[in-house]
Amino acid sequence: MKTLDKKTNYILSAVFAGLVVAILVFMDSDRAAYSYPLAILQRSAIYAVVAVAMNLLTGFTGLFSLGQAGFMAIGAYTVAILTIPVAQRPAVYYINGIAEPLAEASAPLWAALILGGLLAAFMGFLIGYPVLRLKSDYLAIATLGFSEIIRAFIAAPMLDKVTNGSYGLKSIPGFPSTLMVFLVAALCIFLMILVIRSSYGRAFKAIREDEIAAESMGINLFKHKQMAFVISCFFTGISGGMLAVFMRSIDSKTFQIGLTYDILLIVVLGGIGSITGSILGSFLMTAGREWLRFFDDHLVIGGFSVPLFRSGFRMVIFSLILMTVVLYYRKGLLGNREFSWNGIYAFLQRLVQKGKHKKGGKEAKSHD
């Protein structure tokens, strides 16, 4: 079967990227008309970053962590505190005031995102020492516990002058354009791909496959697990900062355990061990939830009120669709494979060959 050469692959990728940029620029030119689809696209891109970060840990290193919401909260609050305009901070911290060191502290968005990622990575480094000696479900439970501790600290009254407690943070400046969201997300995912394809990434995969064999080859298990955990936390923190900028206001309830489950569902849907699968899963899941909103609306047919159509029913339909997909695609939509133009080309070739066989069979029957 024929395959595409590298030059053709690069051309197709460039055309696709150019098409995406053109669509985003066109939609951004009239935000009022396309505000809803732009919001879906922005949230999908943000979720893609944290999903790939989770896949780096779960799919490529074999570490099952459920602490993503906590690390996103660290990044989100860091970015929010540093980017809220100084003039608006008295109105945001109107109950207990703001801590003096933070009253004038500010940073540009790019610096705030990096700092949020670094703080999340530092917290991951501290948490990693006790929890990474655990395995499987025990590691998941431990990271989940730490995530809830982080969220509880954020809402604690003792930190009211830093996090504004249960009142949350508002007046966060938004992204200037949807294209910027995609560029930041693309850069983060590209950097994670470089890590996965490096010698460290090969060590992560060796640990995932067989820890005993990896250790016998001279791979320091704890060092590489810690490295994967910290890198994942760094990009998870950046995605949390991006989410804060997208939402414009946050509080501790934004980062409940349900957020981690959503990200885990994206990873499973796209395929554990597939980067492009995580990206595809984030867009499908985010858009799918929104497209099914009409099931939440009250429906009357011929004067009869359909009892099932009520608030929350869309999630029932969405869950049934996900169950069907997971049952049919046991390893996710892409499994552990990656999207490629060669794969699309091979699929089209198979369709053409099937069409020719059917046509040939019909012609043979007509001659008989």
Please report the pLDDT score of residue 366 as a whole number. Answer: 60
Closest among 282, 245, 247 to 50, alpha carbons compared: 282
- pTM for the full model? 0.89
The position carrying tokens 């810690």 is 226
pLDDT in tens, 266-307: 998 888 889 999 999 999 988 888 877 767 666 656 566 666
Q: In terms of C-beta density within 10 A (0-12 exposed, 13-18 middle, 19 or more buried), how is residue 134 classed?
A: middle
Q: DSSP class of residue 57?
A: H
Please report the pLDDT score of residue 8 as a whole number. Answer: 85
d(C-alpha 29, C-alpha 135), whole Å: 49
d(C-alpha 200, C-alpha 195), whole Å: 7
SS3 of residue 198 by DSSP: coil
Q: Where are the domains of the chain?
A: 14-255
d(C-alpha 144, C-alpha 134), whole Å: 13
Please report the pLDDT score of residue 200 as a whole number. Answer: 92
Mean pLDDT value across the chain: 86
Q: DSSP class of residue 164?
A: -
pLDDT in tens, 316-352: 777 788 888 878 887 888 888 888 888 787 778 877 7
d(C-alpha 294, C-alpha 296), whole Å: 5
* pLDDT cut 70: percent of the chain above it: 90
The position carrying tokens 């590298």 is 6
CA dihedral of residues 311, 316, 319, 320 (deg, nearest 10): -150
pLDDT in tens, 114-140: 999 999 999 999 998 888 888 778 888
| Under 8 Å between Cβ of 257 and 148 | yes
Q: How many helices (H) and strands (E) are present in the chain, helices listed first?
A: 16, 2
3-state helix, strand, coil in the chain (%, to 5): 75, 0, 25
pLDDT in tens, 56-99: 999 899 898 899 999 999 999 999 999 999 888 888 888 888 88
Has residue 55 got a pLDDT over 90? yes
